């Protein structure tokens, strides 16, 4: 690995001791061990690490990037990055081999306060570095053993893999401790400057920059000030001010627009910084610079072509929207003299203003750092409190107040209880779904991208899934290493399911209230059906998929509510068809399967206008509910709140009850 002149070593003996202390007392879960060839024509580019990761690459030369830091690798390279780090490996001319070990460090429990304090100083699970191992063959053998043991997929072998992982980390730290180790740690000052140059317009949290190099915010600030002569905060302010000056000089944007576009929290903050550094307001700065850089244009008046100095009777724009007719006796020297006088006058007024003896105003970055720190402390304390939930897979310890929930299909129940997941599996179709607004903007996964790594990337503190789901059954152990998994049996009735999820989130009363409301509404409709002698009527639910077939529906599209909860009956032939495991019906046979009432879904085919359809009694008696497309989605689910909406819909549209 070629040395970078900008690289410095920051792994002091004291820091390594602290990092070893943290490793010894932290709970580590292995997520995956992989072997991956990387080809010159198919490099690994912009891969966002879903968890902390060790990468051992070997076999050739390559450029390796971890976020903003670039490393040049020759033959062997060991790299580490934390969750969210962007990794790129670009081989020069030959295929590289690589081992990747993904792991997760659990958040310390509340009683490990000393560990939390150490993690604020240096976090070995987030730091990024690259170096050449002193014993590359020996370390390579460790990674090969980890891969072999992991692939055997038994608990004893995974236990062995974890012991090998700790051994490899120990070897790495021994290398970093050795004074002769050839390693690269990106220069925090150079990389911090590059980061600030690219992100100064956005709110900046300096602790995140420090975390990239496993040093404290204070240490990064001291290094930066020693090398650059200014603090990180002053550097950001100057970057923003320089950009603001450029816009004041070259655009007609308002001061408010410039403030928002340059990273200042508001217009007032920009005014304050201008007064502090330039002793004038942004508006004054714009006027002064407009005087010294006038834009000339010829007016529409008739005039002589030239006088002794310039175009006569020239229209001169000051750049702030005002036009002045300047006589030919006003020279540039006079204009600049006036500008200097105005600047001195403004400076004198500013210096005579009383000093602000109150607390200094926080910049956007300082405000965000303070807010984030407070929020993170509260979230850590909340996550430390847990409860035990009895599931079909055994007892599971879950956070009392989970903040980041990934859910498979049962998201209607979560929305009903006011819980907003960070990602969901399934689909949200039309705007008529009762939870459509809550689901808007939430990442939705389907069976093509529903995998452990994708789930891990959302950093969940709780996962909810269907116990019988094939993916959940095959990956339950892996998922459990990402976050606690609540597996819910699909055999639970909707009310039982809602109450169970209410228990998981400590919302038992809210869940029971929804169940009680549904039961009351259901009882009311059943009573109305009885009073109108409709409780003995038969109902058929059909889906017309045209060239894909005409099907009898017994579960979806409201059929669950009609047959199971309202206890309405199917026509005899319809029930027999279903009992024999069939569902598809030819158009000619449809009349013998229709009941007194018919729910007709997807009625856009020609069959709805055929003589066969028109001959059916339910059609003649106007007892067919032609379900419009906009109404179909509310019928798709059988959760308590969806079925409550279905009751309202069927009451009005199918049974025509007041």
The contacts of residue 174 (CB under 8 Å, 6+ apart) are: none
Half-sphere exposure of 404 (CA within 13 A, CB side): 13
**Count of H-run helices and E-run strands, the chain:** 25, 23
Model confidence over 212-229: pLDDT tens digits? 666 777 788 888 888 788
Mean pLDDT of 287-302: 52
pLDDT of residue 108: 62
Question: Which CA distances in Å does 511 have to 389, 402, 496, 501, 506?
Answer: 16, 17, 10, 8, 10
Predicted confidence (pLDDT) at residue 497 exceeds the cutoff of 70: yes
Q: What pLDDT is recorded for position 546? A: 66
What span, in angstroms and rounded, lies between the C-alpha atoms of 557 and 635?
4
Question: Given a cut of 80, is residue 330 above it in pLDDT?
Answer: no
The average pLDDT across 468-488 equals 89
Q: What is the mean pLDDT of residues 188-208?
A: 79
Least confident of 97-101, 263-267, 601-605: 601-605
Picking from 572, 564, 579, the residue whose alpha carbon sits closest to that of residue 593 is 572
Q: Return the minimum-mean-pLDDT range out of 138-152, 226-240, 332-346.
A: 332-346
The predicted structure's pLDDT at residue 486: 94
Which of 98-107, 165-174, 367-376, 553-562 is the most confident on average? 165-174
Mean local confidence (pLDDT), 246-258: 90
Q: State the architecture of 522-653 in CATH terms.
A: 3-Layer(aba) Sandwich (3.40)
Beta bridge partners of 601: 543, 627
pLDDT band at 335 (very low <50, low <70, confident <90, very high): very low
Question: Can you give the pLDDT at residue 307?
Answer: 42
Q: Which CATH number applies to 385-506?
A: 3.40.50.1980
Reply yes or no on whether the pLDDT at 516 is more than 90. yes
CA distances in angstroms from 55 to 49, 84, 87, 189, listed in the order given: 11, 15, 10, 25
Q: Does the structure show a pLDDT above 80 at 322?
A: no
Please state the separation of Cα 574 from the chain's center in Å. 47
Q: Would you state the pLDDT for residue 65?
A: 83
Residue tagged 């993170």 (tokens): 376
* Domain span(s) for CATH 1.10.10.60 in the chain: 231-352+361-382
Q: What is the mean pLDDT of residues 358-386?
A: 42
Residues of the chain with CATH 3.40.50.1980: 385-506, 522-653
Which percentage of the chain shows pLDDT scores above 70?
A: 76
Q: Is 623 exposed, middle or buried (0-12, 13-18, 19+ CB in 10 A)?
A: buried
pLDDT at position 471, please? 84
Residues of the chain with CATH 2.60.120.280: 13-186
Residue pLDDT, tens place only, 58-93: 998 888 888 877 677 888 999 999 988 889 898 988
Q: How far apart are CA 184 and CA 91, in angstroms?
A: 18
Higher pLDDT, 343 or 389: 389
What is the model's pLDDT at position 587?
Answer: 82
Q: Which fold does the domain 13-186 belong to in CATH?
A: Jelly Rolls (2.60.120)
Asked whether residue 374 carries a pLDDT value surpassing 50, the answer given is: no
Count Cβ neighbours within 10 Å for each residue of 88-114 and write b for 16 or more, e otherwise.
bbbbeeeebebbbbbbbbebbeeebee
Q: Which of 28-37, 40-49, 588-597, 621-630 has the lowest mean pLDDT?
A: 621-630
Q: Which of 189-198, 314-323, 417-426, 445-454 has the lowest mean pLDDT?
A: 314-323
Look at residue 567 and tell me whether its pLDDT is greater than 70.
Answer: yes
Looking at the structure, give the CATH architecture of the domain made up of residues 231-352+361-382: Orthogonal Bundle (1.10)
Q: What are phi and psi of 68, to 5 degrees?
A: -85, -10
The DSSP line for 222-243 is HHHHHHHSS-HHHHHHHHHHHH
- Residue 177 above 80 pLDDT? yes
- The pLDDT score that the predictor gives to residue 140 is 93
| % pLDDT > 90, the chain | 23
Mean pLDDT of 24-45: 90
* Confidence check: pLDDT of 100 > 80: yes
Task: Return the C-alpha torsion angle 128, 130, 134, 140, nearest 10.
Answer: 90
Most confident segment among 222-226, 294-298, 366-370, 535-539:
535-539
Q: Residue 382: CB partners within 8 Å, gap ≥ 6?
A: 399, 400, 401, 403
Assign 292 a pLDDT band (cuts: 50, 70, 90).
low
> Average pLDDT of the chain?
78
Q: Structure tokens of 506?
A: 């400590």
Using the predicted structure, report yes or no on whether residue 378 has a pLDDT greater than 60: no
Greatest C-alpha distance within the chain: 108
pLDDT of residue 429: 55
Band the pLDDT of 373: cuts 50, 70, 90.
very low
For residue 78, what is the enclosing H or E element?
Answer: strand 69-81
Q: List Cα–Cα distances, 145 to 99, 142, 163, in angstroms.
A: 11, 5, 11
Average pLDDT (157-183) is 86
pLDDT of residue 353 exceeding 50: no
Average pLDDT over residues 356-360: 35
According to DSSP H, which parts of 532-565 are helical?
559
Q: Which of 202-206, 372-376, 462-466, 602-606 has the lowest average pLDDT? A: 372-376
Per-residue CA distances from 536 to 309, 523, 530, 567 (Å)? 104, 16, 8, 9
pLDDT the model gives residue 428:
60
- pLDDT of amino acid 447: 65
Q: Which two three-digit tokens encode residue 569?
A: 């009956």
């Amino acid at each position: 690995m070629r040395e970078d002149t900008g690289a410095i070593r920051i792994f002091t003996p004291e820091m390594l001791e602290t990092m070893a202390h943290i490793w010894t007392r932290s709970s580590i879960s292995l997520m995956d061990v992989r072997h991956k060839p990387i080809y010159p024509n198919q490099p690994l580019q912009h891969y966002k690490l879903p968890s902390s990761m060790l990468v051992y690459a070997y076999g050739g030369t390559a450029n390796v990037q971890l976020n903003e830091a670039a490393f040049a690798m020759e033959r062997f390279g060991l790299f580490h990055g934390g969750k969210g780090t962007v990794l790129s490996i670009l081989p020069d001319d030959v295929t590289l081999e690589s081992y990747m070990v993904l792991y997760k460090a659990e958040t310390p429990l509340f009683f490990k306060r000393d560990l939390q304090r150490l993690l604020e100083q240096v976090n070995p699970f987030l730091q990024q570095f690259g170096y050449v191992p002193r014993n590359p063959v020996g370390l390579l053998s460790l990674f090969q053993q980890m891969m072999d043991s992991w692939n055997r997929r038994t608990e004893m072998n995974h236990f062995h893999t974890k012991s090998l992982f700790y051994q490899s980390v120990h070897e790495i730290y021994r290398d970093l401790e050795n004074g002769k180790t050839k390693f690269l740690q990106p220069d925090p000052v150079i990389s911090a400057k590059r980061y600030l140059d690219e992100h100064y317009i956005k709110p900046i949290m300096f602790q995140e920059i420090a975390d990239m190099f496993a040093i404290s915010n204070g240490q990064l600030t001291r290094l930066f000030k020693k090398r650059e002569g200014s603090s990180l905060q002053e550097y950001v302010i100057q970057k923003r001010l320089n950009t603001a000056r450029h816009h004041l000089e070259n655009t007609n944007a308002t001061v408010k627009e410039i403030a928002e576009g340059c990273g200042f929290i508001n217009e007032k903050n920009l005014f304050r910084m201008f007064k502090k550094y330039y002793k004038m307001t942004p508006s004054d700065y714009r006027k002064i610079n407009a005087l010294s850089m006038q834009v000339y244009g010829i007016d529409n008046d008739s005039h002589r072509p030239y006088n002794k100095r310039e175009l006569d009777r020239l229209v001169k724009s000051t750049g702030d929207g005002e036009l002045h007719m300047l006589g030919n006796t006003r020279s540039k020297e006079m204009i600049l003299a006036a500008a200097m006088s105005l600047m001195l006058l403004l400076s004198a007024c500013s210096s005579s203003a009383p000093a602000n003896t109150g607390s200094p105003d926080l910049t956007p970055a300082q405000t965000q750092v303070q807010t984030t720190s407070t929020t993170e402390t509260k979230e850590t304390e909340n996550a430390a409190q847990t409860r035990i939930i009895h599931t079909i897979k055994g007892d599971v310890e879950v956070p009392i107040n989970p903040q980041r929930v990934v859910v498979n299909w049962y998201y209607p129940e979560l929305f009903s209880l006011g819980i907003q997941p960070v990602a969901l599996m399934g689909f949200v179709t039309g705007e008529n779904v009762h939870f459509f607004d809550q689901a808007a903007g939430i990442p939705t996964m389907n069976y093509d991208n529903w995998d452990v790594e994708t789930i891990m990337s959302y950093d969940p503190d709780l996962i909810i899934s269907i116990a019988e789901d094939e993916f959940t059954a095959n990956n339950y152990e892996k998922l459990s290493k990402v976050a606690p998994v609540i597996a819910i049996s699909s055999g639970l009735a909707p009310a039982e399911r809602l109450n169970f999820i209410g228990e998981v989130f400590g919302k038992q009363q809210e869940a029971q209230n929804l169940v009680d409301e549904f039961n009351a509404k259901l009882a009311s409709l059943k009573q109305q059906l009885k009073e109108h002698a409709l409780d003995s009527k038969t109902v058929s639910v059909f889906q017309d998929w045209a060239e894909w077939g005409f099907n009898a529906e017994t579960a979806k599209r409201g059929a669950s509510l009609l047959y199971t909860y309202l206890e309405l009956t199917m026509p005899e032939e319809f029930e027999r068809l279903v009992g024999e495991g069939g569902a598809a019906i030819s158009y000619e046979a449809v009349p013998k399967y229709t009941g007194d009432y018919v729910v007709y879904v997807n009625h856009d085919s020609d069959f709805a206008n055929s003589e066969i359809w028109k001959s059916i009694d339910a059609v003649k008696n106007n007892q067919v509910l032609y379900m419009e497309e906009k109404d179909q989605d509310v019928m798709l689910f059988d959760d308590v709140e969806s079925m409550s909406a279905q009751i309202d819909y069927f009451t009005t549209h199918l049974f025509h009850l007041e």
